[in-house]
Structure 1
């Protein structure tokens, strides 16, 4: 028990429902519909939606801890559902009141599901998805290379770059047609069941009723810092699962010692994340949030690799959880990745034993 009822609810769902079905979900032909339904019934899809819009209005710490619990049970479920939680957070924080009133209650309850397609706007170089104003409408042209949950999601939070350098964000209905075409689902070594596609936009027109916001590059950079903090939860979740697997292998000293050492490091990393997010922490006491996320990525990879090693040759079987956790940890190093995060993660790899940032 963690002391928070929402986090405890997430842990119970992860242990009783998600984890026993994780291997099947990992190899399924499509996204984890039943798992998402259980998350909706538990109310956890409303974590990032304020109570006045039908959600739970959970604190950032509770959202992180609950998502970590889900990730400890089933990686592909966490991978799909974080899209929804992030989309609801952006929508809840926007100034389009009628849009929020119309859609957020259904999104919070899981009657609608939201995905994301905006990672490309953090890429250097010419925009691959552009937006322009046409009267009151925004018109999108180009390609969003990553969108997860095709066939499950009803809406996508889509962003394209405007001529003035700002990014235009809209909640577009996922209806295939001449102006919006998905690719076939990507074949992935992990999260293959997530139904991840690219979206080709050809004159996709979005009216004011679906426009979420426009962000300056500075506002986008600030949001990226917050995203780095949020996405530590995925690596925390896979670390929790790997430690649990190490403990389940047996009480032998090497396995127990490894689990204890990883557990202590995980506790320090989570404390550093919470400290960074605490408004009472002075700026000089927070450290580099990108380096902090890189440490959590590195920890998740090392913990899952430890589970592989401790499991022996059996870990090479597709039914074994250790190899799945190792693949999931790899994916979490790529989520919301920027050049700075790549550099910080590589720095962890060439400086083994570096301390927890912050």
Structure 2
């Protein structure tokens, strides 16, 4: 007997059908509008994993993945802006600091949207952003190469490395201010709509009570490294959207058979990926996680390529969903990429018979 979907899954489907999917091609060309972000805020999805006592839903991981798939499949740019928000929520949920009482509720209830500026930590031992003690607080200097959601986010979670090789995460307002200057919006081959900039930091000062986490780099890295070895729900979402296009085309029986075969593979790889993601020890079975992740990339490329091929010359038009999905797929190949993931992916690409395995 089937059960009713979780209420956040129902809300995500409504948001995708009524707001995101109908304007996905326009958003891709013009940028994520504030109205879409306001709709996400109202939906309750920003608190999907947040504690109930702070206004969140404390939903299971499976619900968080399903809502992410729904949003990314409807409009990958909007999904990418809002997905940044969940890391700050998770960090504050674990923090025992006054900052948690000040920020977690507004973030969980969707009153505030947070971005993140910490991917540069993965460049270690290079230190793109240095943090030093100054005037009873912390001074940030350097460059954040990627910051998504500029002009849409209310706050940001910013990170750097101290002189003692600690990572330090702190919150600040997501606006130009003394010591923080954004670049012009980046022109990207995919997800330009996400309003991504780089940030120049030259003496940005933040007080002690803005700090969400300080820990030795290696202690933080032990928990960070395994995260990106898991396959992303967005990869499965864009794959599924490409297969929806393929199945809805006026192609010959061979087109339908291709869609059916790829859909079967999608269901199997997704099942394997989520079983691994739910494994109780995230630092175990890393080789398996990476193998499934690279297979999900293989399938993503196959599905988006099939949608372009089935659409023929129409697929090259910027108003075509097929080319948008193909570019989104290209973006997802490198989104959140670490050296470990890149090595595994390149190794798989050099293996003969990969797609036929």
* TM value normalised by structure 2: 0.91
Compute the RMSD of aligned alpha carbons: 2.4
2:26 to 15, 19, 24: 24
Structure 2 alignment gaps of length 5 or more: none
Distance in 1, matches of 2:229 and 2:4, equals 23
CA distance in 2, matches of 1:334, 1:284: 23
Matches within 5 A, 1:58-207: 58-96=59-97, 98-134=98-134, 136-207=136-207
**Residues 1:57 and 2:87 are matched in the alignment:** no
Matched, 1:47 2:44: no
2:19 and 2:135 mapped to 1: Cα distance?
49
Matched residues in 1 for 2:122 and 2:142: separation?
15
Q: Which residue of 2 aligns with 1:338?
A: 338
Query: Using the alignment, how far apart are the partners of 1:150 and 1:109 within structure 2?
Result: 21
Q: How far apart, CA to CA, are the structure 2 residues paired with 1:88 and 1:331? A: 25
Specify whether residues 302 and 32 from structure 1 end up closer, same or farther in structure 2 by C-alpha distance, changes over 3 A only.
farther
- 2:251–2:310 CA contact under 8 A, matched in 1: no
| Contact in 2 for aligned 1:232/1:297 (Cα 8 Å) | no
Match of 1:7 in 2: 9
Kindly indicate whether the alpha-carbon contact (under 8 Å) linking 1:275 and 1:281 is maintained by their aligned counterparts in 2.
no
CA deviation profile, 1:24-65 (whole Å, cap 9, x unmatched): 11011x433222222222211111321111111122222122
Pairwise CA distance, 1:213: 0.3
CA distance in structure 2 between the aligned counterparts of 1:133 and 1:282, rounded to whole angstroms: 33
Q: Using the TM superposition, give the Cα deviation of residue 324 of structure 1 relative to its aligned residue in structure 2, in angstroms.
A: 0.2
Q: 1:343 to 1:280 in 2, by over 3 A?
A: closer
* Whole-angstrom CA distance in 1 between matches of 2:281 and 2:55: 31
For structure 1, the 5+ residue unaligned runs are none
CA-to-partner distance for each residue in 1:84-122, whole Å, 9 max, x for gaps? 1222222222232x2122222222232211101111110
* Structure 1 match to 2:298: 298
* Cα deviation code 1:173-205 (max 9, x no counterpart): 123123111111111111112111111111111
Q: Is the 8 A contact 1:154 1:174 kept in 2?
A: yes
| Contact 1:295/1:356 (<8 A) preserved | no
For residues 304 and 39 of structure 1, what CA distance do their matches in structure 2 show?
Answer: 26
- How has the CA–CA distance of structure 1 residues 41 and 119 changed in structure 2, closer, same or farther, with 3 Å as cutoff? same
Asked if the contact 2:348–2:354 (Cα under 8 Å) also holds between the matched residues in 1, the reply is: yes
The answer to whether the aligner puts 1:236 opposite 2:228 as a matched pair is no
SS in 2 for 1:222: helix
Q: 1:282–1:180: structure 2 CA closer, same or farther, 3 Å change rule?
A: closer
- C-alpha separation in 2, matches of 1:23 and 1:251: 23
For the structure 1 residues 78 and 2, does the alpha-carbon distance in structure 2 shift closer, same or farther, using more than 3 Å as the test? farther
Aligned to 1:309: 309
Question: Matched residue of 2:204: which SS?
Answer: strand
Cα pair 1:268 1:356 within 8 Å, conserved: no
**For 1:319-340, what per-residue CA distance to the aligned partner results, in whole angstroms no more than 9, with x for missing partners?**
0000000000111111111111
**2:26, 2:17 → 1: CA distance?**
15
Q: Are residues 339 and 207 of structure 1, via their aligned partners in 2, closer, same or farther at CA, if it must alter by over 3 Å?
A: same
Of the structure 1 ranges 51-60 and 145-154, higher mean CA displacement relative to structure 2 is found in 51-60
Deviation (angstroms), 1:256: 1.5
Q: Which moved more, 1:55-64 or 1:70-79?
A: 55-64
Q: Secondary structure at the match of 2:164?
A: coil
CA distance in 1, matches of 2:283, 2:113: 36
Using the TM superposition, name which of 332-341 and 1-10 deviates more: 1-10
Q: Following TM superposition, by how much is the alpha carbon of 1:251 offset from its aligned partner in structure 2, in angstroms?
A: 6.3
